[in-house]
Amino acid sequence: MYEGVGQYLFYLGADDHFGGDDFNQKSFVQYHDEAANRGAVILKFGDQVGAITHRDPRYSARTVKDSLKKDYFVNAVLDELVELWKPYVDYIGGFGMGNHEVSFLKFYGVNLIMMLIARLNALRSKNLRPIAYLDYCGFIWMTFKSSATGGSYSGYKAAYHHGFGSNAPVTEGIIAAKRFLNNVDDVDLLIVSHLHKNWSIRTERFRLNRQGNVVCRPVRLVQVGTHQQTYKEPGDFNMSWAETKGFPPAPYGGVFLTLTAADRKEITARVEH
């Protein structure tokens, strides 16, 4: 619940894949600094951690960086994640799970995201609500209370799913996202990730209202990008999995969503990449 009319900014991201050699810290810092400087609420939808360790068939020398090659991997990766996120701790709204965190959970019975949230909540300003655990998929309902009237708006409804499937080099996952949109009713926004793409689509849905008039409303789909590098730096001869599969270079960074709430009007949305 947000108080009052005005503009509210959210930064939507996923697929940082922290912990391996292919995590692009420069782009991570650039986008999250911008989110914090603009006062955005940061929402992340999974694969914050790569966490491909030796029990995982995808493991290779580059999936765990040297500073994390420890018997106490869980402690080491959480310590580094806390340092990475500390500058943004008061801006985080929620963290979701991706297939990488789910694989780790299956191998070791450890939910890295729940543990990270607990560590970050301890560092967060006490006047803020705790960071939400968003799981693999779900809904976010942003409601805005008008200070002028004291009444509340119906709000803006988002559905999210970390994502599924393979790289989709031609369609960029648009068909899969539209197919998934068929499963959810009455949302203004569907957020997907996992494919390391960055796009948004504005589509329209129309229906008859109670007065029998045809009314349209926009429904947006967004794919929120990554901070994992597909191709290696020159002179690095360890094989990247994405490179061997011929994946296209991934676009870095997430999506900024601005919601504008005005008295007695529908909430409007704007998307920036």
What residues line the site for Fe ion (CB under 5 A)? 47, 98-99, 194
Please identify, using beta-carbon distances, which residue of 96 and 98 lies nearer to Fe ion. 98
Please identify, using beta-carbon distances, which residue of 161 and 194 lies nearer to Fe ion. 194
The angle at the Cα of 230, spanning 224 to 236, to the nearest 5 degrees, equals 150
Please identify, using beta-carbon distances, which residue of 98 and 254 lies nearer to Fe ion. 98
Minimal distance, residue 67 CB to Fe ion, in Å: 23
Strand segments (E) across the chain: 2-3, 6-13, 41-44, 92-96, 132-135, 137-142, 144-145, 156-161, 189-192, 198-208, 214-224, 255-261, 268-272
Minimal distance, residue 247 CB to Fe ion, in Å: 13
Distance CA 128, CA 133 (A): 15
Minimal distance, residue 43 CB to Fe ion, in Å: 16
Please identify, using beta-carbon distances, which residue of 27 and 48 lies nearer to Fe ion. 48
Please identify, using beta-carbon distances, which residue of 87 and 249 lies nearer to Fe ion. 249
User: CA end-to-end span of the chain, whole Å?
Assistant: 25
Minimal distance, residue 56 CB to Fe ion, in Å: 13
Minimal distance, residue 164 CB to Fe ion, in Å: 9
Give the CB-nearest residue to Fe ion. Answer: 194
Contacts of 100 (CB under 8 A, 6+ apart): 17, 46, 47, 49, 50, 51, 52
Instruction: Give residue for tokens 């349209």.
Output: 216
